[in-house]
Structure 1
Amino acid sequence: MDASGAADLPVFAIVTGLLGGLALFLFGLETLSRALRTVAGDSMRKVLATLTTNRFVGAFTGALVTAVIQSSSVTTVLVVGFISAGIMTLGQAIGVIMGANIGSTMTAQLVAFKITEAALPLVTAGFAIGFLARNEVVKQWGAVLLGLGFVFLGMAMMSDAMAPLRQSPEFVEAVATLREPVWGVLVGFVFTAVVQSSAATLGIVITMASQGLIPLDAGIAVLLGANIGTCATAMLACIGRPREAVRAALAHVLFNVIGVVAWLPFIPQLEAVVTGLTPGSAAREIANAHTLFNVVNVAVMIWFTGPLTRLILWLVPERAPLPGMEDLPRPRYLDSALLETPPAALDAVRLELGNVGARVRRMLVAGLPAAIQGSRPALDAVARMDAGVDVLYESVMDYLRRIGSRTMTRSQATTYLALMEAARGLESIGDLVETDMVTIGRRRLEEKIAISEHSARRVTALHDRVLDALDGTLEAVRSGDVDAARRVVAMKPDIHALVQAATRHGAARLVANEPNRVAAYTREMELIEQLRRIYYFCKRICRALADPEPATEEAAPSLGAAAE
């Protein structure tokens, strides 16, 4: 084509078609990923938590989970939570993150099929299922089909939009520069970092390769750059997050950068291998190159997880808290990236409620001795402890509010309501210690009352049993242990018997000839009542966890929508 022909290139149609197709592609991919995370996230989370006994099993598990839920970032965030909870070591986590890179290549394999003829039937079927189904799981599978249809439809639009570029000498010339590996890697890195989606880069490369617009070696160089570009999103996302998150993101960056640098001299060999595997199919060659790159990287680098772990710990050491900020409460597990995966987000709430419960437990342990015989400073110290509980409680409730705006299955919604009950109950226990129990201690000091040793033993026995109930409650909240919750509920007769014994002893003291016996009796009965109420809240939390409403998988709209 001559210069005048080049000037006739339909630039507006190409740009709008390419951007519109890319938007449809990304929308479809997000719809597909969100639906898969909703229906499969719970089982995949359990798999990830249990099948990471060593780095090899961890890599396989990371690949499996990421391939199913279509989100390596969610896998990484789950791993961060497991590290923080002590479920997984950093070395095991690095294996999972390596495996997640393999799992993420399934997206490229999916789009490489280019079943564009099936795009509209998939959209139609997906919309019909989502519109007509009453079962929430079925609705989400409809969303999977809908998202898949949009992925293929977007690919078709991009392909049609870029077809005229084959006749543009300027474009062909520009693409030729990408055959220089460094330029190809740079373009892939920059584009992926800007759009924050390696899948988008791979989709465009596969489309261009299918149209004959980009040679295979240049396409491979761009996809190598996309592997580095996807790390930019992870690094930006970990700003201000715990050290575990920074280490996980750094592991991802080091793995990808080292892999790309190592592969640069071997692009011709990689091109030869994938051409031999699927000759004549440019889309499959690009997808296979992406998969082979990550598989070989994992196969080689998994043997070096020990040195890589030590390097990361050296680069990101533990940070000492700022002076005066040592006990500043801050949520550890409430990661916004988990909100699109309700089962994982609910698990984050469980872990954070463990933090809340640990603070409440410390208050209860210190509260009774301070109320019975503590000084005013001791009582003030107990009262101040509630501030941390309140801060974390507010964070948990805000996070639960955000989860409630997402679509959940009925069983997930039941767990959501039980965890909300647990948050309210733990906060109420903290308030009982901070307000009522501390107030009783202050009145004891004002009235100059001395609680007898025998009375103190009776109240302490009740306190110890209530503390056992709180321990069981926290175990049930953190792990979802239904048996632990039921054991707490079954403690009611023991608690009742201890309350009755302490009450009878108090009544006997009331008729004794002792100074301030009425005031002493009143304070003792108040303490017994507060301990009884604390057990009541434990029992209420455990009943919500152990005996939820019968769970079905009927449609469960977002709780936010239901409240309107």
Structure 2
Amino acid sequence: MLILAAAPAAASLGVAEAQGFSWGAMLMGLFGGLALFLLGLDRLTESLKAAAGSRLQSCLERLTNNRFSGALVGALTTAMLQSSSVTTVLVVGFVSAGVMSLSQSVGVIMGANIGSTVTAQIIAFNVSTYALSLVAAGFAMLTFARREQFRHYGGMLLGLGLIFFGMGIMTDAMVPLRAYPPFLEWMVGMESPFIGLLVGALFTALIQSSAATTGLVIIMASQGFISLPAGITLALGANIGTCVTAMLATIGKPLVALRAATIHVLFNVAGVLLWLGFVDQLAALTVALSPQYGELQGMDRLAAEAPRQIANANTLFNVLNTFIFIALAPFFARLAMVLVPERKDLDKTPVVVPKYLDERLLDTPAAALNLVRMEIGRLGQEVVQMTETIWPALQKNDNQLFREVQRRDDVIDLLHTEIINYLSMLGKKELTEDQAHDYYLLSQAADTLERIGDVIESELVETGFKIAQLPLRPGAQIRDLLGRLHAYVYTAVELAVRAVNDNDSAPAQELLGMRREVNEAVEGAFRRQVASMAASDTERLKLLQLEFEITDKFKQIFSLAKRIARLYQPYSD
């Protein structure tokens, strides 16, 4: 803890006690206040995540190729989530999915730094006098409100109240330090930019919360312990320390995750190094833009002005950095690729490992559901490939193609298991009505796609093996009819996957519009097979039976694809 570092300055506890200063009481107040502060911050963050709901997803879907709009989206998303780390995880998912390039992601990561300063602005208000009123009002809304949205608002008020209450306790605990010379002498050392930078970085890396570091800096400023330049250097250090969280988040993740985290580190470190020599100029600009209290003098004036100035400096620093470096977004992306090159042997993630599912986002249901959708899209592409491959395999009796189909089904089964397990964990969270509906659609779509894979692998492949044992092969006419039917079925599966992956009713509507053509193709195949039965010998009848099975399984696959389409067209017949 920043202030605990002052403890060594007390050469003798007995001297402090003789001056009426109790380390025990102070530390109890500091630890207790910090616990309430962090608890309130956690409650505020969780409530903001829940209240953001589907708006988070729609906000992210508005990402464009414009890096400036990407920065704006990154700032808004982080302000809603109160977590730049969550935003970075989402960015990694979008880059992995090909929705945005690594270069485009730089703008979002830069914007996330701006959004993360909202917490400091909230803390700087320090309305600790009304803290318990906010706690009471928030608790009442959580307990008695019937509408889910109002309960989320109650959680926000409760979180704010606990933040301010914890700050008040820490502030009161630190009052005796005003008259404790060893501590005041130690704080003078914070005027050194390098010491302030180091302390801020180490403390943030230790507790993995730049918001908590900034909050403690603001509390110390409110007591007049540190000047604005010292507060700025501590906040700059927090910007470097928070990179540790981003790097830890990449452990066990794909290469693109490490590159995105590297961009985060490069941007933050470059920004800090740029401003380290201009701390006084940044402080002067902040003073000009912040409220001043000329009627106060000395430590009282410093205590009144510094908290808001530090919060404003933190925001100003991140905003200016974004405008300065956003033009260099492609450079940051290329540098990250140079620093984190392809690892041909070490970076090969097994194909059966989920690519997008991240348990850290389970507490943000809107984001978690979006990751599930992306993973189902990946599963769906395996199903599409299976559907495409099975007909050539049947035509050629190609064992290699049959093995390819079976391999893909193994991948589908494993991905399906991971998706269902992830959804099971997500289902234990508090979901809004819209999120619960999306949860149902995605779980049904995953199950149905897995069933399509089973029909192809367990039934059509088996049919192919049986045909291979016969001396006869399907004639040209029935091959043409089945080929036409397969083309319809392949298109239907592709549309079903697109409907799920894009959360779009248009592909579903197009799929449902194919029913007439598919029914005609099925009837044509059946009529041809029935007409051949009269003049068939035993071997020909066995082949006809297998042709019937192929036709029936294609029809079954189309029916399963329709089931998915109806999920996104609930009023269709």
Q: Would the TM-score normalized by the shorter structure come out above 0.5?
A: yes
Q: How does 1:259-278 map to 2 (within 5 A)?
A: 259-276=271-288, 277-278=290-291
Distance between the aligned counterparts of 1:41 and 1:250, measured in 2? 29
CA displacement, residues 225-265 of structure 1 (integer Å, 9 cap, x when unaligned): 10100110001101221222212111111111111112122
The equivalent position to 1:75 in structure 2, one of 87, 93, 100, is 87
Judge conservation of contact 1:52–1:96 (CA < 8 Å) in 2: no
Deviation at 1:496, TM superposition (A): 2.3
Whichever residue aligns with residue 501 of structure 2, its letter is R
Judge conservation of contact 1:209–1:215 (CA < 8 Å) in 2: yes
Distance between the aligned counterparts of 2:346 and 2:384, measured in 1? 26
Whichever residue aligns with residue 317 of structure 1, its letter is P
Judge conservation of contact 1:333–1:349 (CA < 8 Å) in 2: yes
Q: How does 1:9-48 map to 2 (within 5 A)?
A: 9-48=21-60
Matched, 1:6 2:21: no
Name the structure 2 match of 1:348.
Answer: 371
Q: How does 1:286-325 map to 2 (within 5 A)?
A: 286-321=310-345
RMSD over aligned CA atoms reads 2.1
Name the structure 2 match of 1:559.
Answer: none
Judge conservation of contact 2:197–2:237 (CA < 8 Å) in 1: yes
Name the structure 2 match of 1:387.
Answer: 410
Name the structure 2 match of 1:135.
Answer: 147
- 1:521 is paired with a residue of what secondary structure? helix
Distance between the aligned counterparts of 1:548 and 1:409, measured in 2? 22
Judge conservation of contact 1:49–1:82 (CA < 8 Å) in 2: no
- 2:253 is paired with a residue of what secondary structure? coil
Name the structure 2 match of 1:446.
Answer: 469
Judge conservation of contact 2:529–2:544 (CA < 8 Å) in 1: yes
The equivalent position to 1:516 in structure 2, one of 519, 532, 539, is 539
Distance between the aligned counterparts of 1:512 and 1:327, measured in 2? 52
> What is the aligned-residue identity percentage?
44
Deviation at 1:375, TM superposition (A): 3.3
Judge conservation of contact 1:373–1:451 (CA < 8 Å) in 2: no
Q: Give TM-score, length-normalised by structure 1.
A: 0.92
Matched, 1:331 2:354: yes
- 1:329 is paired with a residue of what secondary structure? coil
Distance between the aligned counterparts of 2:537 and 2:400, measured in 1? 28
Deviation at 1:514, TM superposition (A): 4.7
Change (3 A) 1:352 1:135: same
Distance between the aligned counterparts of 2:503 and 2:11, measured in 1? 71
Whichever residue aligns with residue 475 of structure 2, its letter is S
The equivalent position to 1:428 in structure 2, one of 451, 455, 479, is 451
Distance between the aligned counterparts of 2:390 and 2:322, measured in 1? 53
Distance between the aligned counterparts of 2:402 and 2:111, measured in 1? 52
Judge conservation of contact 1:414–1:548 (CA < 8 Å) in 2: no
Judge conservation of contact 2:357–2:372 (CA < 8 Å) in 1: yes
Whichever residue aligns with residue 541 of structure 2, its letter is V
Name the structure 2 match of 1:190.
Answer: 202
Distance between the aligned counterparts of 2:556 and 2:331, measured in 1? 53
Whichever residue aligns with residue 17 of structure 2, its letter is A
- 2:116 is paired with a residue of what secondary structure? helix
Name the structure 2 match of 1:541.
Answer: 564
Deviation at 1:41, TM superposition (A): 4.2
Judge conservation of contact 2:56–2:367 (CA < 8 Å) in 1: no
Distance between the aligned counterparts of 2:319 and 2:242, measured in 1? 17
Name the structure 1 match of 2:423.
Answer: 400
Change (3 A) 1:436 1:38: same
Name the structure 1 match of 2:127.
Answer: 115
- 2:342 is paired with a residue of what secondary structure? coil
Q: Which moved more, 1:121-130 or 1:514-523?
A: 514-523
Distance between the aligned counterparts of 2:346 and 2:173, measured in 1? 56
Name the structure 1 match of 2:5.
Answer: none
Name the structure 2 match of 1:249.
Answer: 261
Deviation at 1:182, TM superposition (A): 0.9
Name the structure 1 match of 2:161.
Answer: 149
Deviation at 1:214, TM superposition (A): 2.4
Q: Which moved more, 1:403-412 or 1:193-202?
A: 403-412
Matched, 1:52 2:75: no
Matched, 1:497 2:520: yes
Name the structure 1 match of 2:183.
Answer: 171
Deviation at 1:308, TM superposition (A): 1.9
Deviation at 1:64, TM superposition (A): 2.4
Deviation at 1:310, TM superposition (A): 1.7
Change (3 A) 1:143 1:448: farther
Whichever residue aligns with residue 565 of structure 2, its letter is C
Q: Which moved more, 1:528-537 or 1:35-44?
A: 35-44
Change (3 A) 1:6 1:327: closer
Distance between the aligned counterparts of 2:399 and 2:75, measured in 1? 58
Deviation at 1:322, TM superposition (A): 5.9
Deviation at 1:458, TM superposition (A): 1.4
- 2:117 is paired with a residue of what secondary structure? helix
Deviation at 1:306, TM superposition (A): 2.6
Name the structure 1 match of 2:295.
Answer: none
Change (3 A) 1:251 1:518: same
Distance between the aligned counterparts of 2:11 and 2:567, measured in 1? 76
The gaps in structure 1 that reach 5 residues or longer are 550-564
Name the structure 2 match of 1:227.
Answer: 239
Judge conservation of contact 2:254–2:349 (CA < 8 Å) in 1: no
Aligned residues: 548
Change (3 A) 1:326 1:259: closer
Distance between the aligned counterparts of 1:450 and 1:96, measured in 2? 58
Whichever residue aligns with residue 184 of structure 2, its letter is V
Name the structure 2 match of 1:105.
Answer: 117
Deviation at 1:505, TM superposition (A): 1.1
Distance between the aligned counterparts of 1:322 and 1:223, measured in 2? 37
Judge conservation of contact 1:32–1:146 (CA < 8 Å) in 2: yes
Distance between the aligned counterparts of 1:393 and 1:71, measured in 2? 29
Deviation at 1:371, TM superposition (A): 2.7
Change (3 A) 1:224 1:326: closer
Judge conservation of contact 1:472–1:485 (CA < 8 Å) in 2: yes
Distance between the aligned counterparts of 1:101 and 1:326, measured in 2? 30
Change (3 A) 1:322 1:435: farther
Deviation at 1:208, TM superposition (A): 0.9
Distance between the aligned counterparts of 2:333 and 2:398, measured in 1? 49
Q: Which moved more, 1:87-96 or 1:327-336?
A: 327-336
Distance between the aligned counterparts of 1:330 and 1:360, measured in 2? 16
Whichever residue aligns with residue 404 of structure 2, its letter is A
Q: Give TM-score, length-normalised by structure 2.
A: 0.91
Deviation at 1:273, TM superposition (A): 2.7
Deviation at 1:352, TM superposition (A): 1.0
Judge conservation of contact 1:334–1:352 (CA < 8 Å) in 2: yes
Distance between the aligned counterparts of 1:64 and 1:362, measured in 2? 38
Change (3 A) 1:326 1:332: closer
The gaps in structure 2 that reach 5 residues or longer are 1-9, 293-300
Deviation at 1:52, TM superposition (A): 3.3
Judge conservation of contact 2:222–2:306 (CA < 8 Å) in 1: yes
Distance between the aligned counterparts of 2:444 and 2:472, measured in 1? 37
